[in-house]
Amino acid sequence: MMGPAHSLSGATAWLVVGAVTEAAGEPMPWPVLLIGAIICAGAALAPDLDHKAATISRSFGPVSKVACGVVDKLSYGVYRATRKTGDPRRSGGHRTLTHTWVWAALLGAGTSALAVLGGRWAVLVVLFVHMVLAIEGLLWRQARASSDVLVWLLGAASTYVMSDVLVEDGADWLFTDPGQEYLWLGLPVALGVLVHCVGDALTISGCPILWPIPIGRKRWYPLGPPRAMRFRAGAWVENKVLMPAFLVVGGVSGAGALGILY
Ligand SMILES: [Zn+2]
């Protein structure tokens, strides 16, 4: 899938989690619902940091360009080092390491650790990065028309306001012991990466989500539904079917999560 569909699916996924936790008697305070949806929307773009034309690789100027190069080399290296005889030879790292459950878990755990150890400042950084990504992903038309600096300023301002709200209500959601503030921030990050992988699995080339668990002669088995159910990235299915569906499901779940529905 392309950037907008990925980020919208990420936001939707977090709203669904919100509805589920509300039903399970662990309702999210609204700042957790909102901020989680934004982080998940941003994180759902993160795996494509292995591709220089992707939204994320262009979102932070030279910084993301350098990060993209590093991630592509790392991914390609890991691919070559771990491929089995059935995995094809390839020339770059796109859709390998960053498109696996291992990457999702590492990124989620890393974010949680950073948030707990770094406190407020770490939260600001994590929130800022994902906010800018979410703006680029969800408002891509507007973002493309304006300058990068404008998007960064908008991201910084909303990050500042939202982190203030989070201190008041939601910092200790789910993990309530002292010292566990912001521990939950890793959850929308990991979920966003997984949702991205599922989205890519629906396209023609599939997605090696299960690496390094071998399937047959492949360790990078491109998982996906049967061929007939897959579509080309950026195809009409994405814009005309999936994105409206994400909006409806996200809207209903969001209302449910806030306890508006019943
Ligand atoms: Zn991807």
Cα 212 to ligand 1 centre (Å): 18
Cα 55 to ligand 1 centre (Å): 11
pLDDT value at position 168? 86
Q: State the burial class of residue 164 (Cβ atoms within 10 Å of its Cβ: 0-12, 13-18, 19+).
A: exposed
Cα 93 to ligand 1 centre (Å): 11
pLDDT value at position 262? 64
Cα 165 to ligand 1 centre (Å): 32
Cα 104 to ligand 1 centre (Å): 13
Question: Residue 44: CB partners within 8 Å, gap ≥ 6?
Answer: 6, 7, 9, 10, 11, 13, 137, 192, 193, 195, 196, 199
Amino acid residing at 22: E
pLDDT value at position 259? 87
Cα 200 to ligand 1 centre (Å): 6
Domain holding 71, by residue range, is 3-258
Spans of the chain, pLDDT less than 70:
262
Query: Helix or strand or coil: residue 1?
Result: coil
Cα 51 to ligand 1 centre (Å): 8
Report which of 43, 39, 36 is spatially closest to residue 20, judged by C-alpha positions: 36
The Cα diameter of the chain in Å comes to 55
pLDDT tens by residue, 104-163: 999 999 999 999 999 889 999 999 999 999 998 888 777 777 788 888 998 999 999 998
Cα 9 to ligand 1 centre (Å): 13
pLDDT value at position 147? 81
Cα 113 to ligand 1 centre (Å): 25
Rounded to 5 degrees, what are φ and ψ at 100? -130, 160
Report which of 246, 196, 250 is spatially closest to residue 54, judged by C-alpha positions: 196
Q: How many domains does the structure of the chain reveal?
A: 1
